Amino acid sequence: MMEPLLTLTGVSKSFGELKALHQIDLQINSGEVIGLVGSNGAGKTTLLRLMAGVYTPSSGTVLLSDGQPVTQMRQALGVVPESTGLYSRLTAWENIRYHSRMHGVSDRSAWARTAKFAHHLDMSENLGRHTKGFSRGMKQKTALLRALAHGPSILLLDEPTAGLDITSARTVRKLVEQLKQEGGTVIYSTHQLAEAEQVCDRIVIVHNGDIRADGSPHQLLEETETQTLEEAYVALTKDAARSRQEDDEKEARFTGWWRRFFTPKPPVHLMEEVKESE
């Protein structure tokens, strides 16, 4: 029987009037690679940030296996956000070492883990280079190494292959496969069903703030009586997807002033022409 590592119970998250997530119940077990699949705006990033302790639930709880709130035990998590957030004036290794020291990990231990995974990511020769000149793929690999260096129990990946070339994306997927073989636990957020099917043994479909399905690819096909995951996804998400609003911020006063005075609305007759063309 799999050991639960992270449990979300009745979790909801709101941003003002926007309800990003509604009554989420989810259990993350040891040794699983779980795909969070959904369109932009579905709530995947909000869910990951709740798991990472970046957000506090509006209601409900996010607890680790020992009952501790995830906000108190962030060292148990390794996080690769959609934006890598690397310090461009530091080398790849300096970025990793700085992050590891914040988790109380010695340089020796961090280097041992970094060297191990850098070999698999073909990054060994680039650890001493400043990240300013790195490609998107190299930055993503550095962020992965940074997340793994302190030996987390759970690895959270937010769109880890977005914007990567075919070779780099394949390398990231191979690393996830390796972590899976070693008994690692990975939460893999993506809007690519084919990618989720390749690397994940359990898929959680998130749509408009709700979990619409949770199971293996085979279970999802059986549940929806479909032949492909794409057909299953469509069957489970028939209502229109909302736009991505979970990261929206209030407009600054100066920005609003500038918009009102220098970006006027189109003339009424042009707006009427658009409506007629529709």
Please write the tens of the pLDDT for every residue from 46-102.
999 999 888 999 999 999 888 888 877 777 889 888 888 899 999 999 999 999 998
Average pLDDT of 34-50? 90
Main-chain dihedrals φ then ψ at residue 179, nearest 5 degrees: -60, -40
* Placement of tokens 């069903």 in the chain: 193
Q: C-alpha 221: how far from its chain's center?
A: 24
**CB-based burial label for 277 (10 Å; 0-12, 13-18, 19+):** exposed
Q: pLDDT tens digits for 99-157? A: 999 888 999 999 999 999 998 888 999 999 999 989 888 999 999 999 999 988 889 99
Full residue range of the structural domain in which residue 62 is found: 4-277
Instruction: Name the nearest CA neighbour of 136 among 117, 115, 157, 160.
Output: 160
CATH of the domain at 108: 3.40.50.300
User: What SS3 string covers 131-176?
Assistant: HHHCCHHHHHHHHHHHHHCCCCCEEEEECCCCCCCHHHHHHHHHHH
Contact assessment for residue 80 and residue 158, using Cβ atoms and an 8 Å cutoff: yes
Of the pLDDT bands very low, low, confident and very high (cuts 50, 70, 90), residue 243 is: low
Instruction: Name the nearest CA neighbour of 79 among 11, 137, 24, 150.
Output: 150
pLDDT for position 205: 95
Tally of structural domains, the chain: 1
pLDDT for position 270: 44
For the cut 60, the answer to whether the pLDDT of residue 265 exceeds it is no
Main-chain dihedrals φ then ψ at residue 191, nearest 5 degrees: -105, 10
For the cut 90, the answer to whether the pLDDT of residue 206 exceeds it is yes
* Placement of tokens 């959904």 in the chain: 38
Contact assessment for residue 96 and residue 172, using Cβ atoms and an 8 Å cutoff: no
Q: How far is CA 111 from CA 120, 149, 232, in A?
A: 14, 7, 43
pLDDT for position 214: 95
pLDDT for position 274: 46
Spatial separation of the C-alpha atoms in residues 73 and 229, rounded to whole Å:
35
Q: Which segments of the chain are extended strands (E)?
A: 4-15, 18-29, 33-37, 59-64, 77-80, 154-158, 185-190, 202-207, 210-215
For the cut 60, the answer to whether the pLDDT of residue 262 exceeds it is no
